[in-house]
Structure 1
Amino acid sequence: MKNLTLLTLILSSVCCSITKNNPLITNGETFQTASFEYQPINPIPAKLKEKEIAEVIHLNAKNDAKFNIGDQWTYEEEEYIGGGNAYVKYATFVVTDTMEAGLLTKYVLNEVDTFYAQDDKMFFWDKHYQEYIMYYDFNATSSYDIKFYDPFRKSDEIATVFIDSIGYRHFGNDSLKAQHIHVLNSGTIEDYQEIIYEGIGAENYGIKLVLGCGLCDFNPYITKLRCFSSDMMTYSFVAYACDSTWFTTDTKEIDAENTKIYPNPTTHLVWIDGIDQDIAYELHSATGKLIQKGYTKDKSVFIEGNGIFILRLNDKNNWINKRVVKIE
């Protein structure tokens, strides 16, 4: 009984510490998320095990994310204007309205998209399927699936999200739970790695994961999350102002006409003639799926396997596409 009393006091103390400053609760108070690890100090007799489990379940009670009109996500956005020049600006996604559907509150983003949060998950409206699809499970510890339609392959697909690790990103006295994930069969990027913040969404490319978009050619192009703001607080993920803008320019530009590629079936290397230095590249399959990306090495790209590929070369924000036919 002494052990049970001590355990109850510890659990009560933890409960008090986590009911302060959770940024996802909008009841007029400022709350703070907290991470903790449950570990009994002394072994608990078998006849008290049911009591122990009940206490733990109470600690893990659901606390779904809630949003208000005006809550805003700010992402960095790049717009290429040719000649190696680009505007770096920002794009915002704002909760502009809410809709009540039974016990659910659905949120309208920029008066276009809708989503809702339930059971520690986030669901987004899918225009193709005409239903809400779960994109995030903040309690997942191993994997989960997302249904999506791939317009390039013209097929129904399943993306599998694998949870690689779970941690916390700290903002002074506040912190956000973060899932480090990779996605199999995204239809967009072969090695799709991402960080998902609880109650917020993806760190890159927009709030939800980008699926079925291997040959999408966005301009402007959304990159990383800068800020998330509510009426309670602002989380800043960058070291500069959320609404910063600037202009980038460079006089060097690769010449598409004079850039040639030479596959070597023996070494699996594709040598690029017409560039002065190693540059960024993306390698896509013939169906548009991103296979790999990175930087050339000694003006070459390693391509394993046979087939038809699309090699995209980027030098100072200027992209050119080259078709590669590799047959051994």
Structure 2
Amino acid sequence: MSKSMLGIIDATIHNEEMQELTLKRSIAAVPFGGRYRLIDFVLSNMVNSGIQNVAIFPRYQYRSLMDHLGSGKQWDLDRKRDGLFFFPSSENENTGSFQHFKENVDFFGRSNQKYVVIANSFTVSNMNYKLILERHIQNRCDITHVVKEDETLDMYVLEKDLLVKLFMNHEQTGYRSIMDVVEDITSGYKICNYEYTNYAAVIDSLESYYEHSLELLDPVVWKQVFVKDHPVFTKVKDEPPTSYSKDAYVKNSMIANGAIIEGHVENSIIFRGVKIGKGTVVKNSIVMQKGVIGENCVLDSVILDKDVKVEDGTSLTGKTDSPYLVKKGSVQGALMNS
């Protein structure tokens, strides 16, 4: 038990630059990589690091997140002892995660792990927290802050008792989150940086979502994110294999199961249950679940959210630094874009 860890996923953050993808879902529940949600990566990292007790602290639009994770069965967290816990905030305004933790102090008191890993819900990586904990103990740090090239990954390791002390006294100290403590050079705590050298992507804007999604098409990135011995778990949905017509053409793309491909797909990520019609060309794009793209369409540098319908003959074009987004459940027609 001396090196046991409690996992804390701070899903309280609402980023205005992600608003177009988070109108009806939290950042944690944003689809990513063809069949995953963003939270799958950090949650899988925790499970693969031997963490059996995980608490998620959401604040905004968390219904789809709870539906996705359910009892935690896919992550082997549906347990009689420890397991997966949700603690939605009762606060309507952004008062900081420490207040959120304080509202649920009883959970921390019941948890018997000595150390805590705190992570955000929107960093894509395949990280072993055991290695970070070992460095934390070896260097006798109060707080270990995980960074990549001197940029924060919003991940921290510390003793649970110290965390409880920090959030119980936050009204006196003025600290609203663990980041406030790390950034305060007068705090008196020993803050250590842990430089993470493998792939890690912080998804905090529409542009970063688009950029880092398509990075998965790079075999070097793919091999660092999807590691055989450290799998990324997600909610299982039983669907048939993808069907390709004789005229279909696919190049350098990720295509999930349950899709029907009759057109041309290149440098794109296609989620479950998507249909792409004859004569249609999809390039440099992301098409989320159950999207239906008609015949003779052209899509380039486009993000289609879930359940979008694109009618025959429609042309949608964005830019690599400014992708064209179609909102969830909407319809795009040729006349609309003429």
TM range (shorter): under 0.3
Larger radius of gyration: 1
Structure with greater helix share of residues? 2
After TM superposition, the score normalised by the length of structure 2 is: 0.25
Structure with greater strand share of residues? 1
After TM superposition, the score normalised by the length of structure 1 is: 0.25
